[in-house]
Each structure stands twice: as C-alpha cells, then as structure tokens.
Amino acid sequence: MVRLAVLFAFGAAFAAGPPPLEITGYSIFFDRQKEGYRSSSAAAELRGDKLVLVFQKASDDEAGLFPMVAETYDWGRAWSNPERWLPGYFTGRPQEFLTLSPFGPTSRGTSLVAGYRTLKAVRDGKYREDVRWRPGELLIGRMPKGSAGYAMRRYPAGTFLGEQFVAPGLMLPGGRIVLTLWGAKRQGDNWQAGVLLSDDDGAGWRYRVVGPPCPREMRDDPEMPVGFNEQTLFAAGGNTLVSLLRARAKLGRIPDSPRDTWFFRSESRDGGETWSAPEPTNLAGTGAPSSGITLPDGSLVMAARIPYSRSVYKLAVPGAFGLHIVRSFDLGRTWRTEHILDKGPDGRVFDNHYNAMNGQFLPLSGAEWIYLFGEFRHKEDVHRTLAVRLRFSEAKR
C-alpha cells in the first residue's frame, strides 16, 4: 500500500474547506530499463490520441547523452519500440550533450521542440569544473500541422544568453507561446532566469528577464555561479503570469538548512513582457516542472522535490524524500501541502533527495491531470517514469 502523507502546512483552511485536489491513481508509466532505456528524465506531447514520450537519463548535462522516443495510444499500456529522437542533431562528439523536449500543439496545430546542445558536457570526476560554464546552442523546431518533420532553427551561444538552458512552458489563449530559459550571460557571471516569447506560432522569439543575476557575494564558492535558474510558470488569467523561481546558495537559503533554499515568486501583468522583482515564498525545495496548473477555482498547483531538511515539513517517514504536491490561493505568494508521495508505486521508500525528478503536467480534461516525473535511484541504477493522476473535485466531470 502506497502511503500518501497529507498535511495542511500553512494556516487554517477555509471555513468549509477548499475543494480538494484528489490523487486518483499512481503507477509506473514507462519502464524499459531492462532493455537499456533509462527514462528518469522525460517530456511528453499529446497529439490527438497519440502520446509522444521523449526521454533520457536524468543528469546535469552528462557527456554522450541524447534523447530517445516512444509512443503510446493507450496511456502507457502498450508502447512502440524506443528509438533515437531526431538523430540527425546528435553529432556524437565525445564532449557533447543533447536534450530536446516536445511541446504543443499550438493553437494552429503546430508541434514544437525545444532543447539545447552543450559543447563541453559534464564529465565523470570533473563536475565542479564543468558546471561553471556550459555555453551551447539553443534549438527550437516547428512542425506545422500536416508536415512530415521539424524545421529546426539553431541559436548559437550568446544569442539570448551564453548558457541557454531552455524548457517548454505555456501556450496562452491568445496564441502567445512562453518558454523558460536560464544560464549565465558571460563566463564568470551568476545565472539569470527569463522567458522566451513568441507571437508568430514559434517562428521568432524574444528574451525577457524574470530573475536577474544576483551579486557575486551570494556565492558560497567564489568560483561557482549561483542565482536563479529553473522556474515554473502559471497562466493566472488575462495577461497575468506567475513565475516560481528556484534560487541558489545565499540568495534564498533557509537559515537552519544550508543545502536548501526557498522558491521565489515574480509576476507579469502583460503576458511576460515585464516582471516584478522576485520575492521569497514559504515553499522550499527544487525539482519542479516548467509549468504548473491553474485550477478552476483560481488556485495554483505545482510539484517539487522534498527538501533535504527534516524539519521544514512534517514527514510521515522521517527519513524519506519524494514528491511534494502543493497549492497556492494567493497567486504563488504562499503555499500549503496537498499531498506528499514518499514511496514509489511499488511501495519502496524514496530514500534520496534525487529519487523524484522534475516532471510535467498533462491535462486530461478541465478537471483532471496526469503528472509525469522521473524516478532516479542512483545506487540501484533505476531510471523510469512514474505517473500521478490528479482530480479537482468541485469541477464538473
């Protein structure tokens, strides 16, 4: 039996209680590791009845990795044989890392792909040296409805930033597309986080800063960059967007937990063109998706890894880690726990901070979603994709 530890961490509930977000299923979604396919990092796109899953081993840009693809028409009960995805874009150079994520379709039916290639990837035993500066080219492709393949455009290092770590974000009702992007602008700078905006169905992009680079004094090690990097975007109605930013080191550190930081929040009232100064929230952790859920009642939902700290949240299994599903009723300023998943679907405890990796919400209807996330158990070499099914009870089904 999988234990779902439910706690309400922040403040009193509404008088009658807010409409619940229920977990209605939890399962292994994709597991082909016995055949050599590691899927602790995955992204998916729904194209009608077909779900396209692009996956690879989760890593900090490990040399030699490239994306694989498998397809299903029945939500994972049967899969096509995995194969390399867009193999022509992987050169096979010893120091290369390539990641690509499907995204879409857009309001015009266009499928997109967003990713990046680092020319100096992370090597075994050279992590601290290699992650200081990872310049690379940004890759964005378009496949209009009815086309047979992607038309890929390459943006060299320095086009938007020097390091260009991109991830899918939001498709807005008016047709605007929003991607997340982070990295250092120049070697030696701290990281910044921003968005790429497109108003022409992904043909052209412009960069806007969300989390600016912080002073060098925020570093613990003067040689190691820190700052804002990964972020989760929410469409909050009209032209309002909310970004939940991951902060690093002294920028957002929790005083009694040196390895953990608070998430920061920024808001845009003009569809991502300008953003408010980031401010800390009461949510700790990392490993969040690039976009979250806005429920029919206006509340926001996201998922993140449980932090290292054993005291920030009340844990049913004190030594466990896992997935922290949280909800905000004030556009991301404060968050409360909805569910904690401290075990895998097979009942094994998540005993390491990295067991639950960054995920993705896929809509099933106006009231139901599936959250896909990677299970990564380094010691046992477990790399597979899990699925949590969520339902908003008050909405009509």
pLDDT of residue 395: 46
Confidence of residue 16 (pLDDT cuts 50, 70, 90): low
Question: What domain range includes position 15?
Answer: 1-30+295-397
- Examine residue 280 and state whether it is found in any structural domain, yes or no: no
User: How far, in Å, CA of 389 to CA of 81, rounded?
Assistant: 25
C-alpha closest to that of 115 among 187, 201, 55, 174? 55
Determine, yes or no, domain membership for 333.
yes
Q: Is residue 186 part of a domain?
A: no
CA dist 243 and 211 (Å) reads 9
CB 292 within 8 A of CB 301: yes
Q: Is the pLDDT of residue 9 over 70?
A: no
For the cut 70, the answer to whether the pLDDT of residue 5 exceeds it is no
In a domain, 152, yes or no: no
- Express each pLDDT in 94-152 by its tens digit: 889 999 999 999 999 999 999 999 988 888 888 888 899 999 999 999 999 999 999 99
Euclidean distance between CA atoms 227 and 223, whole angstroms: 13
Q: With cut-offs at 50, 70 and 90, classify the pLDDT of residue 4.
A: very low
Please state, in angstroms and rounded to a whole number, the distance separating the CA atoms of residues 143 and 151.
6
**Residue 355 located in a structural domain:** yes
In a domain, 331, yes or no: yes
Q: What is the distance between the alpha carbons of residues 157 and 112, in angstroms, rounded to a whole number?
A: 20
- Encode pLDDT of 244-254 as tens digits: 999 999 999 99
DSSP letters along 104-119, please?
---TTS-EEEEEEEES
Nearest Cα neighbor of 189 from 223, 238, 144, 166 is 223
Omega before 105 within 30 of 0, i.e. cis:
yes
CA distances from 16 to 20, 21, 68, 295 (A): 11, 15, 47, 18
For the segment 293-322, the average pLDDT, to the nearest whole number, is 95
205: which residues sit within 8 A by CB, 6+ positions away? 140, 155, 160, 179, 196, 197, 198
- Classified as helix, coil or strand, 355 is coil
Number of domains in the chain: 1
Task: Assess whether pLDDT exceeds 90 at residue 17.
Answer: no
Is the residue at 397 inside a domain?
yes
